[in-house]
Amino acid sequence: MNWMSFDRALPIIFMALMGVSMLVYVISDGYDLGVGMLMPRATDAQKDVMVASIGPFWDANETWLVLGVGILLIAFPRAHGVVLGELYLPVAFMLIGLMLRGVAFDFRVKAKDTHKRTWDRLFFAGSTLAAVAQGWMLGRYVSGFGSGWNYPLFAAAIAVALPMAYVLMGATWLIMKTEGELQERAVRWARAAWAPMVGGMVLISMATPWISQIVRERWFALPEAIALMAIPLMTGVALFAVRGVLRSPAVRGPLCWLPFVLLIVVFVLGFLGLAYSIYPFVVIGQLTIWQAASSPEALKVILIGVCISVPAIAGYTIFSYRVFRGKTGELKYA
């Protein structure tokens, strides 16, 4: 590969890294946001176990969000200005929600019983606010920040659907990490969240080509449309497999991990569909990755830092999940 072709490939490499970072964030922080939104449905003792199930992971999960936004800032500065300029308010609400979660998570540890429920409510509120804000941002981004009554309506639909997906992720995480009555409740929560999540996905999948001409042209052009049918078909199979496993007694035993893993497959397939829809744009219809990227010289320097930081973050993530694998026990503080 000559230097000219490497220079041309650099923005693609950084776009891929940014996309993978955001995907890992959505999956990893999605389930702990979902657990937070399920808190009001649990007893006080069960809330402690729920917090313990995400305690070793939730803060580190947000590192992937920092990485993704950092890559956007330094590798695609023009796109960074457009994206955060358009999404300034929902980004602020998301950060408020994430900070509220962090404060509530720590303060509930030291709070007296009379105040503990207040911090639990704030943990729920922060989780919900962050999830809704992320859904709104995704809706606005996918639609290319268009103007008109239909664009906010589309964003609002995703702002409702994404938290339901997080709730389902959170419930399946609890099925995998807990036992007894809490696990049984988590199975019921997952069953209840499945239909709204799938219904939202179907409606959004139908609305996205209507809201974006670029997406419509990508997905309905022949012969590409025939090959692309594999993505929705595999997504449907995975979702119905989740439903089938949730109805099986084995979900409380040897297959407790399967619904969560199947939902990861669903998110990965959704990511692949989104990546195909927007490439080669960073901002749909406005900026391609080459137009928005920093100079090749700057990207080469940044790549050195990325080659150090990304393996470190990935290694720590894998290590933490390996150390804290298995069922969650009673919440204890030193």
- What pLDDT does residue 92 have? 93
- What pLDDT does residue 117 have? 83
- Residue 2 pLDDT exceeds 60: no
For the segment 248-281, what is each residue's pLDDT rounded down to a tens digit? 999 998 899 999 999 999 999 988 888 888 888 8
For the segment 97-124, what is each residue's pLDDT rounded down to a tens digit? 999 988 888 888 776 777 788 888 999 9
* Measured CA distances, 124 to 89, 107, 117, 131, 163 (Å): 21, 14, 10, 11, 12
- Residue 52 pLDDT exceeds 80: yes
Please choose, from the candidates 109, 108, 128, the residue with its C-alpha nearest in 3D space to the C-alpha of residue 117.
108
pLDDT band at 149 (very low <50, low <70, confident <90, very high): confident
Give the chain's end-to-end CA distance (angstroms, integer). Answer: 55
Map residue 282 onto helix, strand or coil.
strand
pLDDT band at 329 (very low <50, low <70, confident <90, very high): low
Per-position DSSP letters for 165-198, written without gaps between them: HHHHHHHHHHHHH--HHHHHHHHHHHHHHHHHHH
**What is the distance between the alpha carbons of residues 142 and 298, in angstroms, rounded to a whole number?**
28
- Residue 316 pLDDT exceeds 70: yes
For the segment 73-106, what is each residue's pLDDT rounded down to a tens digit? 888 988 888 888 888 899 999 999 999 988 888 8
Report residue 32 CA to chain centroid gap: 10
Q: Which residue has better confidence, 132 or 113? A: 132
- Residue 185 pLDDT exceeds 80: yes
pLDDT band at 1 (very low <50, low <70, confident <90, very high): very low
Domains and CATH numbers, the chain: 14-323 (1.20.1630)
pTM value is: 0.90
Q: Stretch 275-304: mean pLDDT, rounded?
A: 87
- What pLDDT does residue 194 have? 92
Handedness of CA 281, 128, 270, 208 (dihedral sign): negative
